[in-house]
Amino acid sequence: MLVDGVGSRISHNLMHDVRSSAIRLGGNDHMVEFNEVHHVVWESDDQGGVDMFGNATYRGNVFRFNYWHHVGGEPGDGESGDGEAPDCGRAGVRLDDAISGVVVYGNVFHRCSAGRLGFGAVQIHGGKDNHVDNTSSSTAWPP
């Protein structure tokens, strides 16, 4: 799903079995809430179940009350097929390249940290004024 612009609401969806990110989000003031996202980012790395990147003016986006699980593949699912996890990581929510002003709260993350450089439930790569609060995370993927 590609969302761009201002003020979209992504709510009450089930997103699964996607080889890359389930949501690519750009723009401002979007609300992502009450979704379940699982078994995504199977063939990609350096990404997240939701991925934002490249523009520090994207602000006011909120991710709340979502359930993210089994993000990233098991060892051997990567492009190399050598049984190893990919070098770069995968995350539930990935805020890349200066993404700022995002709020992530009330989410549950389970097994959302694949790759040798596992990014974790929420990976913030640059940016500022991002807030992660009241979020639960358990067990890296794979176990």
Residues 21-70 have pLDDT tens digits of 999 999 999 999 999 999 999 888 889 999 999 899 999 999 999 999 99
Q: 72 in a domain, yes or no?
A: yes
Q: 39 in a domain, yes or no?
A: yes
Q: 116 in a domain, yes or no?
A: no
Q: 15 in a domain, yes or no?
A: yes
Amino acid sitting at position 90: R
Q: 11 in a domain, yes or no?
A: yes
Closest CA to 49 of 57, 41, 60: 41
Q: 67 in a domain, yes or no?
A: yes
Strands of 41-88, DSSP E: 47-53, 62-64, 67-71
Amino acid sitting at position 1: M
- Consecutive H or E run containing 24: strand 23-25
Q: 135 in a domain, yes or no?
A: no
Based on the structure, what is the number of domains in the chain?
1
pLDDT at 80: 43
Residues 74-128 have pLDDT tens digits of 645 544 445 566 667 889 999 999 999 999 999 999 988 776 777 889 999 989 9
Does the N-terminal peptide bond of residue 75 adopt cis geometry, omega within 30 degrees of 0? no
81 Rama class: left (phi>0) / alpha (psi -120 to 50) / beta: left
Domain residues for the domain of 75 are 2-110
Q: 122 in a domain, yes or no?
A: no
